[in-house]
Structure 1
Amino acid sequence: MRCGWNGPLPAPGIRTIREMRPVLADPTCAASDPLYYMYRDLARSEADRRWLCNHRLRYDITVIPSRDLCGEHVKTKGHYHPDNPVGTGYPELYEVLEGTAQFLLQSRRLDDVILVLASTGACVIIPPGYGHITINPSPDTTLVLANLVSTAFESEYGEYETLHGAAYYVMSDGRIIKNLHYPDVPPARKCTAVKGQGTAGRACAGSIYSLIGDREALAFLNEPEKYPDLFKGLLKD
């Protein structure tokens, strides 16, 4: 795998077309497998692995080759995060290692939908209370993403499966189509993630892997209620 990863790399989890059909714009799509690869719980050293484990964190890499899924850009399945013990949703931190990503975020109350464009080197924080999918909009470039996330929860896929995907489908011809299984939702706002800017501070100042060992920089992933200012303005147009 490219993108500078020089640590151990276990066999990936593979997302198949059978698993993805319930959330596609065309659920009859007959695309071939695999669609994308998920390398979970990575570390470059045993010391890094111990630190991550002791702080209830996990570093992952996801590889999404460019694909057209019957007129729709290839994407991840989509999920929400549950609330932590004090009632605040767990966030997540992403970095685009290679390629260009679109993150389609939607609040659990469905009163806000945001399409975030992020190029190589940019980072995106998924705020508490937002579900998300990641899209590779490139016709010819593989998307490689890293993420840091709490290990204190399991992702919740059920609402995306029940409602046949996110509130909108991002099509290969550039259209953004409303998913008719949803009630009325606002139009998708668009914004761009820029490396090192905004209120994300140290979390987006450089490679997110370099934050391993920095408890203060990553504590928000388990205790977001203590860092409300971190999320202010992250999703402004």
Structure 2
Amino acid sequence: MRCWWNGALPAPGIRTIRDMRSVLAAPSCRVTDPLYYMYRDLARLEADRRWLTDHRLRYDITVIPPRDLCGEHVKTKGHYHPDNAAGTGYPELYEVLDGTAQFLLQSRPLDDVILVHADTGARVIIPPGYGHITINPSPGVTLVLANLVSTAFESEYGEYESRHGAAYYVMRDGRIIKNRHYPAMPPVRRYTVVRGEGAAGRTSTGPIYSLIGNRGALAFLNEPEKYPDVFTGLLKG
């Protein structure tokens, strides 16, 4: 982990099996804690922290060790982002620092579900109006993710909790099982993000941390309505 962060680390937030039972395919699953770790509001330099604060942004790292959740891949809890003042949902920018990630996205109207595959070095943009979970599909490699996101909102977990997870469960044996607590759903679309390419097909190089200080590159995180082209590649599938 520390090879991806050369500054001081705060105590992480920790997700336990108790936190996750409501969103699991097997809610009675018994595994040892913790399931994953969340390092929030990081900055290597005080100048970086001031810039992030002034621009209502936050840089985080999430560490997800490989786990078997009673037949399901280990995953994050899942949430939606609310709309901003202009009526457009807040997006989020991820980077896979190590390992392989799958992002299971679902639109609020439940008319689109996307399983995004991303290897080390890939960037993934969560588009406005999509809830998402992150999955570590590896049996033996810890997944390390960085993200940049607006600080102007609180994530909304309620629908994932009330519906017992995302619309589909991604199982370790390769099956993708529909969650019975959802209505009829479209089939899962698959999308692979290539390293060196943004989720919208834009060329992007270097770690997302290097974007700190570049307002033009990150303005879409607070004002997504002004940058619709950022999201078109992923949404076209």
Does the alignment reach a TM-score above 0.5?
yes
Which residue pairs with 2:103 in the alignment? 103
Shift of 1:3: 4.2
Shift of 1:230: 1.0
Shift of 1:70: 0.4
Which residue pairs with 1:42 in the alignment? 42
SS in 2 for 1:8: coil
**Contact 1:191 1:235 (8 Å CA) reproduced:** no
Which residue pairs with 1:201 in the alignment? 202
Shift of 1:195: 2.2
Which residue pairs with 1:163 in the alignment? 163
SS in 1 for 2:117: strand
Which residue pairs with 1:52 in the alignment? 52
Which residue pairs with 1:133 in the alignment? 133
Distance 2:112 2:178 in 1: 14
Shift of 1:7: 1.4
- Relative to structure 1, the CA distance from residue 183 to residue 33 in structure 2 (aligned partners, 3 Å threshold; closer, same or farther) is same
Distance 1:91 1:195 in 2: 20
**Contact 1:72 1:170 (8 Å CA) reproduced:** yes
Distance 1:235 1:143 in 2: 25
Shift of 1:200: 5.3
Across the aligned residues of Structure 1 and Structure 2, the Cα RMSD in angstroms comes to 1.1
Distance 1:125 1:3 in 2: 24
Deviations 1:49-103 (A, max 9, x none): 0000000000000000000000000000000000001100000000000000000
5+ long unaligned stretches in structure 2 = none
Deviations 1:160-180 (A, max 9, x none): 000000000000111100000
Which residue pairs with 2:231 in the alignment? 231
Distance 2:124 2:206 in 1: 12
Of all paired residues, the percent bearing the same amino acid is 81
Shift of 1:235: 3.7
Deviations 1:127-174 (A, max 9, x none): 000000000000000000000000000000000000000000000111
**Contact 2:123 2:197 (8 Å CA) reproduced:** no
For 1:42-191, list aligned pairs within 5 A: 42-191=42-191
**Contact 1:3 1:97 (8 Å CA) reproduced:** no
Aligned pair count reads 236
Distance 2:185 2:168 in 1: 9
Corresponding letter in the other structure for 1:187: P
SS in 1 for 2:89: coil
Runs of 4+ in 1 over 6 A off after TM superposition: none
Distance 1:121 1:154 in 2: 27
Q: In terms of mean alpha carbon deviation, does 204-213 or 192-201 score higher? A: 192-201
